[in-house]
Amino acid sequence: EAGVAQSPRYKIIEKRQSVAFWCNPISGHATLYWYQQILGQGPKLLIQFQNNGVVDDSQLPKDRFSAERLKGVDSTLKIQPAKLEDSAVYLCASSSGTSRAGELFFGEGSRLTVL
């Protein structure tokens, strides 16, 4: 079974530039998550989708971050304009209704460096 795919793996941009990350969840997984993991910290939930609808985006900085999940499969996370404090690993995860309740399947992440 293929895992969660993310791209790009690494991205370096200057502040005020924009960046987009892509995620392809495990086939059949209805729930998709984006997490932000700053170095030395645990992942922090940014947004949760159920199919193509948003379940929770309470911690998404909506003035600069946006995410969409068209057709309920792939998802993109965009940051515009980026700030220095956005430097982090952006993790995508997915889960299905048949998974254990707390079992999310994570991708390897996209590491963003903002200079």
- In the complex, which residues of this chain contact other proteins (CB under 8 A)? 4, 33, 40-45, 48, 56, 91, 93, 100-109
What torsion do the CA atoms of 92, 74, 52, 47 make, to the nearest 10 degrees?
A: 20
Please say which residue, 18 or 36, places its beta carbon nearer to other proteins: 36
Please say which residue, 45 or 73, places its beta carbon nearer to other proteins: 45
User: Smallest distance from the beta carbon of 78 to other proteins, in angstroms?
Assistant: 20
- DSSP output for 33-52: EEEEE-TTS--EEEEEEETT
Please say which residue, 70 or 101, places its beta carbon nearer to other proteins: 101
| Amino acid identity for residue 74 in this structure | D
User: Smallest distance from the beta carbon of 43 to other proteins, in angstroms?
Assistant: 5
Residue 81 preceded by cis peptide, ω within 30: yes
Please say which residue, 15 or 44, places its beta carbon nearer to other proteins: 44
Distance CA 59, CA 83 (A): 16
User: Smallest distance from the beta carbon of 45 to other proteins, in angstroms?
Assistant: 5
Tokens 């057709």, residue located: 71
User: Smallest distance from the beta carbon of 3 to other proteins, in angstroms?
Assistant: 9
